[in-house]
Amino acid sequence: MVTEGIVLGHRISNKGIEVDQAKVEVIEQLPLPANVRAIRSFLAHAVGTSPPTTEISETFLDEQLFAIRKARWFADIANYKAIRFILKEYSRQQVRKLIHDAKYYLWDEPYLYKRFSNGIIHRCVSEEEMRQILWHCHDSDYGGHFEGERTTTKVLQSGFFWPTLFKDSREFIRNYDSCQRVGNLSHNHEMSQQGILKIELFDVWDIDFLGPFPPSYLNTYILVVVDYVSKCVEAIASPTNDIWVVMKFLKKYIFTKFGVPRILISDGGSHFYNRQLDSILQHYGVRHRVASPYHPQTNEQDALWAYRIAFKTPIGMSPY
C-alpha cells in the first residue's frame, strides 16, 4: 500500500501535507522576471507552492490519488523556451539536441509554435486536442471525409502540428467505419479490367475479296476494304483475286487517298498472306493481322458488307 506521494507540488504522507522542497529549490533557481510575460511564466511554475486549504476526500482511491499524468510531447521545449529550464537528468547529448531543436520553436504565452522551412508557423498541439482536430478536419460537415494525406494537409493549413500527425491521420481514417464502408476497393477485390483500343480514322482497315460472281465486263470478283472507325468503304471490280490486284489497289486507293494505315486485317487466303504483300506492308510500316476463321470480332466488317450487297427482295436487286 502507498504510504506517501507528491500531488500538485505537495508531499502527502501520514504526517500530513507538506511543501515539496525539491520544487521550492527549482523555483528559487529561476531567474528574476524582467517583463509581464516572464512574470506570468514564473507564476505558472510557482502556483501551488502553498498548502491547499481544502481537505482531501477520503473517498478517492490510492491509485487515483497518486496517478502520474503523462507530460506533453513538447513540455521540455516549452520549459526551455519560456524559462531556460533543462532537466538535470539530461545527458550532454540530450541537452545539445534540445537546444538545437528549440531553435525551430517559438514561445508565445501560453502556446508553443513551430517554424517550418517555408516560414509558416504552426501551433503545437497536445495529445488531448489531436483527435478533436482530426474530427473537425475529416468527419465534420466541412471536413470532406478525405483520405489521409488530404486530411493531414487540412490540419496543417489550419495551423496545427504534432510529430505523429501523418501516422495519426492515416490510423484515424482507417478506423473510421463509414469511410471504410464506402471507400475504394483494394486491388485484390477489383474485377479484371480490359483495355479499350484507341484508334483514329483510317488507322485500321479490313480487306477481303467477294466472289466469284457471274461475269460482268469480264469481272468476277470485288475487292473491298472497310475502315473500322468510320465504316468508310472502298471497292473495285476485278477479273482475278491475286496478289497483284491487292498491291495495286492498296497503293492507288488507300495509301494515296487516306494515308498509310497502322493495321491491315485480312483472312489467311494466299492473295493476302504471302511474301510480296508482307514486304510492301513492312516497307510502309503497316502491321498485318490475319483474322481467325469464323471469329465474329474480326469478321464483323465482312458480315456488314455481305449484308449490304445481299439481294433485296423488295427492290429485286442488290444496292451495289
Q: Do 168 and 250 fall within a single domain?
A: no
From 71, 96, 115, give the residue that closes a domain. Answer: 115
Q: Is the pLDDT of residue 198 over 50?
A: yes
C-alpha cell read off for 196: 479499350
Among 94, 115, 136, give the residue marking a domain's end.
Answer: 115
- Of the listed ranges 204-213, 236-245, 285-294, 295-304, the one predicted with least confidence: 295-304
pLDDT of residue 50: 43
At 234-248, the pLDDT tens digits run 989 999 989 899 999
Question: Looking at residues 46-57, what average pLDDT do you find?
Answer: 46
| Beta strand 204-210 pairing with 263-266 | parallel
Is the same domain home to 63 and 155? no
Please tell me which of 10-14, 135-139, 310-314 the model is most confident about, judged by mean pLDDT. Answer: 135-139
Same domain, residue pair 143 and 108: no
183 has pLDDT over 80:
no
Is the residue at 29 inside a domain?
A: yes
* 256 in a structural domain: yes
| Residue 320 pLDDT greater than 80, yes or no | no
For 68-77, 114-123, 202-211, which range has the lowest pLDDT when averaged over its residues? 68-77
The number of domains in the chain is 3
Report which listed range, 5-19, 71-85, 130-144, 242-256, is most confident: 242-256
**Closest of 85, 1, 9 to residue 42, by C-alpha:** 85
Q: What is the pLDDT of residue 238?
A: 92
Residue-wise burial string across 13-44, b where 16 or more C-beta atoms lie within 10 A, e elsewhere: eeeeeeebeebeeeeeeeeeeeeeebeebbee
Work out the average pLDDT over 138-164: 81
Grade residue 221 by pLDDT with cuts at 50, 70 and 90: very high
Give the pLDDT of residue 239.
92
Looking at the structure, do residues 130 and 91 belong to the same domain, yes or no? no
- Average pLDDT of the segment spanning 87-104: 88
Rounded CA separation 89/79 (Å): 15
In a domain, 196, yes or no: no
Q: Which DSSP state fits 189?
A: G
Residue 51 pLDDT > 60, yes or no?
Answer: no
d(CA 90, CA 96): 10
Are 145 and 225 members of one domain? no
Orientation of helix 165-174 relative to helix 127-138, angle to 10°: 60
One domain for residues 208 and 305: yes
Cell of 177: 467505419
Does 36 share its domain with 105? yes
Percentage of the chain beyond pLDDT 90 is 5
**Does residue 65 register a pLDDT over 60?**
no
Please write down the HEC assignment for all residues of 46-87. Answer: HCCCCCCCCCCCCCCCHHHHCCCCCCCCCHHHHHHHHHCCCC
Same domain flag for 111 and 130: no
Mean pLDDT of the chain, nearest integer: 76
Same domain flag for 10 and 111: yes
With respect to residue 220, please indicate whether it lies within any of the assigned structural domains. Answer: yes
pLDDT of residue 102: 87
Torsion of CA 176, 177, 183, 188, to 10 degrees: 100
Residue 121 belongs to a domain: no
Segment of 26-35, 149-158, 215-224 carrying the highest mean pLDDT: 215-224
**Is 197 inside any structural domain?**
no
pLDDT of residue 310: 55
Beta bridge partners of 224: 208, 235
Q: What is the pLDDT of residue 83?
A: 84
Weakest-pLDDT range from 75-89, 167-181, 274-288: 167-181
| Domain match, 103 and 148 both | no
Confidence band for 67, pLDDT divided at 50, 70 and 90 = very low
Secondary-structure breakdown of the chain: helix, strand, coil percentages, each rounded to the nearest 5:
40, 20, 45
| Structural domain for 163, as ranges | 126-179
Are 131 and 108 in the same domain?
Answer: no
Q: Supply the CATH number for residue 267's domain.
A: 3.30.420.10
